[in-house]
A and B are shown apart, each in its own frame.
Chain A
């Protein structure tokens, strides 16, 4: 019973943590734009949270830089189970233009298990909404 309640609330109102893992800032701004009046991601019950301990979903932008790597893993471990990772943008998926750099990985999935990928460089807010809704549907 309690479990079903928890599951229901998780699907109806996931809290997300936005994590910049070496992005060029464009995807970050588009995520913020998705939360603003025009697109209004909050109508799906999605709330942006500042701390990993409150979050269900981590939205990663960026290919994970070398210096960020340890910190990203630490933040991932702080998120309570079950947790989901969304890789947002081409560089979080595969490195994009930063492929071949001495300091960037080839995407988030090299370091963390990823549940959903949202393509685009940068993503459009509509694509983000689409991706998040698909992730939520897959949880049902």
Chain B
């Protein structure tokens, strides 16, 4: 017998509000449907009423874990619009913070995966070490989460010789610990057994459903914006794209651990080759009318910002496509024919950042291609619906 179960929007397994509606057949999920919008704050609309500089701090607050991804993606776009070449030292520092953010995000994810798999002490371990990265970020930027490092033409703060040494020293500690996790995870049969074979997503499915980031790379597709379309100084840095072929949650964990090791290498390279010179150049206030598409490899996958300017000091349109949103269709495919007990694990494996993904998309065909609604269209739709309201129900009391 089939029955329907709703999970969320407030559920201890999900740290953020989202609702999953499932059709179950016993323990097996036959169909799943995601409902979003509990966290929608209208950032895109707000951006239109603020200046380019103010939007630096707004885009940062799209998401708290990958705050620097959104800010950098936006900054790069606006710099392209301004036809501004940022300072080289600034770009190096920017890339450094990008990679530090990737390290803290992946450590966080490892812990969450450990917790969802029932490996509570692993959770505590990785979060303890995550504090080391947070400390580094704190030294560099003065804040633990929202670094506010970017500005048009470079970064807002320089790093000095002492900070450079200190970061290089702490990096050794992180490397040791990551090696330890790698061995621990590989030699702990219960952990591996819990993750292997869960949430299968074949290579073809991953491509068809437009998955991004570690979810895609764990299905054996070596796609990484840092390699395919290098931004900042990634074209000068030697690193490898990490992939796995197992197509399951274990593969996604492996990809992330490999990426951690790559990130340490990148950070080391950046710090050792930090060029001298100014860390920012002066940027114009107004932006010529134009439009731009900016890509960035966030810890969770490809992040895309579309910015349109109209010659004033405010953007005419800002459109954000966060990686989690691109991974939702793939998540549904992973959930199907899985077990209820695997939901938190599968869901955690895409490293969902729900507040990032609260974008308005209207799906107009079954293949996951979205159409974005303009606010005016939405208002017209709302008016259209208001006309059809059954006015006999008018006396129903307003709940507040």
Contacts and interface: CB of A to CB of B under 8 A. Distances in A.
Interface of A: 18-30, 32-33, 36-38, 50-52, 62-63, 65, 67-68, 70-71, 73, 75, 91, 96-98, 100-104, 121-122, 124
B53 to A, nearest CB: 13
Contacts of B45: 101-102
8 contacts: A19-B10, A22-B39, A22-B355, A25-B353, A32-B127, A33-B134, A65-B37, A71-B10
| Shortest beta-carbon contacts, A-B, top 5 | A26-B64, A50-B12, A25-B64, A101-B42, A36-B127
B16 interface: yes
Contacts of A36: 124, 127-128, 131
Interface in B144-158: 144-146
The size class of the interface chain B forms with chain A is 35 or more
Contact of A103 (B10, B41, B145, B354): B41
A25 B16 contact: yes
Interface of A is mostly: mixed
B38 interface: yes
Interface string B20-59: 0000000000000000011111110110010000000110
A107 to B, nearest CB: 13
Contacts of A21: 17
A35 to B, nearest CB: 9
Contacts of B67: 24, 26
A20 B15 contact: yes
Nearest to A61: B64
B49 A97 contact: no
B146 A121 contact: yes
Contacts of A71: 9-10, 17, 38
B64 A27 contact: yes
A70 B208 CA distance: 37
Q: Which of B41, B58, B144 has the most CB of A within 10 A?
A: B41
B212 interface: no
Nearest to A103: B42
Nearest to B375: A102
Contact of B146 (A20, A26, A50, A73): A26
Nearest to B62: A24
B61 A96 contact: yes
Contact of A26 (B37, B57, B130, B145): B145
B261 to A, nearest CB: 23
A98 to B, nearest CB: 5
Nearest to A89: B64
B249 interface: no
A33 B333 CA distance: 32
Interface in B309-348: none
B10 A75 contact: yes
Given A25-B63, A30-B144, A32-B127, 20 more contacts: A19-B10, A20-B17, A22-B40, A23-B39, A24-B61, A24-B67, A24-B355, A25-B354, A25-B355, A36-B124, A36-B127, A37-B124, A65-B37, A68-B17, A68-B38, A71-B38, A75-B10, A97-B61, A98-B43, A122-B146
Nearest to A26: B64
Contacts of A104: 41-42
Given A25-B353, A28-B15, A65-B38, A100 B65 contact: no
Contact of B145 (A29, A65, A96): A29
Contacts of B61: 24, 26, 91, 96-98, 121
Interface string B122-133: 001001101100
A19 B15 CA distance: 9
Nearest to A90: B61
B127 A65 contact: no
A75 B354 CA distance: 20
Contact of B65 (A29, A38, A62, A63): A29
